[in-house]
Structure 1
């Protein structure tokens, strides 16, 4: 099961955070800082799977952004690694070459896309066109 999804830049600033298990607000900042420090300090040659406290971290770097997913011990790391790739491809398709600014200024759209892919910590959809269909319909309605 997925516990959380974080998107951070190289400076460690959180651009997106979505929690699927309850974490107190007072603990979130410390958890995010510790997770980001753990992932950003690793070299590119090192594995993208990290054992961290009572769960695992799976992360990928895309230009200046890191996407970090916290998962339970029973979850398949490679499937989550590919899920991150799929998420970025969907963002690229929607924003036509997604950037950090797209994420900052269209955070509601990014959350919508993530919610179409993952619900309650479980992957429910991976087909790019099915993920974007509701969002494109909303955009079409708002344009008219």
Structure 2
């Protein structure tokens, strides 16, 4: 099960944060800072899976952004790793070469996409055309 998903830049600034289990805001902030520090300090040739406290971290770097997912111990790390890639591919398709600025200025669209993929910490959809359908509907409504 997925506990949280973070998207941070190289400076450690959080660009996206979604928690699937309730957590106090103060604990959430500390957890984010610690997780980001842990992932950013790793070298490129090190594994993208990290044992962290009572769960695992799966992260992937895309240009200047890191996407970090906290999962339970019984979750398959490789499937989560591929989920991250699928998420970025869908963002890339929607924004046509997604950038950090696209994410910052279209946070609502990114959250819609993420909510279509993951609900209550479980992956519910990975098909790219099905994931993009709600965004296309929103864009159509905005135009007309």
Question: Which of the five TM-score ranges fits, normalised by the shorter chain?
Answer: over 0.9
Query: For residue 142 of structure 1, what is the aligned residue in structure 2?
Result: 142
Query: For residue 26 of structure 1, what is the aligned residue in structure 2?
Result: 26
Q: Is 1:106 the equivalent of 2:106?
A: yes
Query: For residue 45 of structure 2, what is the aligned residue in structure 1?
Result: 45
Q: Is 1:3 the equivalent of 2:3?
A: yes
Query: For residue 83 of structure 2, what is the aligned residue in structure 1?
Result: 83
Tell me how far apart the structure 1 counterparts of residues 77 and 48 of structure 2 sit (CA, whole Å).
Answer: 9
TM-score by length of 1: 0.99
Tell me how far apart the structure 2 counterparts of residues 66 and 23 of structure 1 sit (CA, whole Å).
Answer: 22
RMSD: 0.4
1:9-47 CA distance string (max 9 Å, x none):
000000000000111101111100000000000000000
Tell me how far apart the structure 2 counterparts of residues 15 and 108 of structure 1 sit (CA, whole Å).
Answer: 12
TM-score by length of 2: 0.99
Kindly state the Cα deviation for residue 134 of structure 1 after the two structures are TM-superposed. 1.2
**Which structure 2 residue ranges, 5 or more long, are not aligned?**
none
What is the aligned residue count? 144
Query: For residue 70 of structure 1, what is the aligned residue in structure 2?
Result: 70
1:102-144 CA distance string (max 9 Å, x none):
0100001001100000000000000000000011011111101
SS across alignment from 1:38: helix
**Which structure 1 residue ranges, 5 or more long, are not aligned?**
none
Q: Runs of 4+ in structure 1 displaced over 2 angstroms?
A: none
